[in-house]
Amino acid sequence: MIKKFAAALSVLAVAGLALPAFAEDQVSDAVDKALWCGAAYSAVTQIDGMSAEAIASADAGATAAFNVALVEMEADGIDSAEHDRLVNYYVEMAVENLTNPNAELRYSDEECEAMIGQ
């Protein structure tokens, strides 16, 4: 689903994203994937002209991925005070990745869908 909408998402105006200093190196692979996939699905919901069905599907994917991220962050002992900062960081990173036509997606549609059980 993410790949299907990546081209449409490129119309979003993204100017001067300032990413926080902490990097994805500080989280496990499971947290990284869940946060990135959730952020990508979330970004897809913001595309103008999307059908209600496509928005609902992307929103459900975001919710499922962020739920996985929450479980994984708790398992990794990441302080709950960091959760919102990490989510915001990953949303910015996903939007930047999805709006760059030359970028390779961090995770494939198939990887995100498998993680959330779609």
pLDDT in tens, 8-55: 444 343 333 333 444 445 899 999 999 999 999 999 998 889 999 999
CA 15 to chain CA centroid, nearest Å = 18
Q: What number is the average pLDDT over the span 104-108?
A: 91
Domain annotation covers residue 13: no
Domain annotation covers residue 50: yes
Query: Regarding predicted confidence, which is higher, 102 or 3?
Result: 102
Domain annotation covers residue 55: yes
Per-residue model confidence (pLDDT) at position 55: 95
Domain annotation covers residue 16: no
Q: Exposed/middle/buried for 59, CB within 10 Å: 0-12, 13-18, 19+?
A: middle
Judge whether 99 and 10 are in contact, CB under 8 Å. yes
Distance CA 47, CA 12 (A): 7
Q: Which domain holds residue 37?
A: 2-8+27-116
Taking the model in full, what pTM does it have?
A: 0.78
Q: What's the total number of domains in the chain?
A: 1
Domain annotation covers residue 19: no
Domain annotation covers residue 17: no
Domain annotation covers residue 20: no
Is the confidence at residue 95, as pLDDT, over 60? yes
The overall average pLDDT reported for the chain is 83
Rounded to a whole number, what is the distance in angstroms from the first to the last CA of the chain? 10
pLDDT band at 116 (very low <50, low <70, confident <90, very high): very high
Is the confidence at residue 62, as pLDDT, over 90? yes
Distance CA 106, CA 80 (A): 25
Per-residue model confidence (pLDDT) at position 26: 82
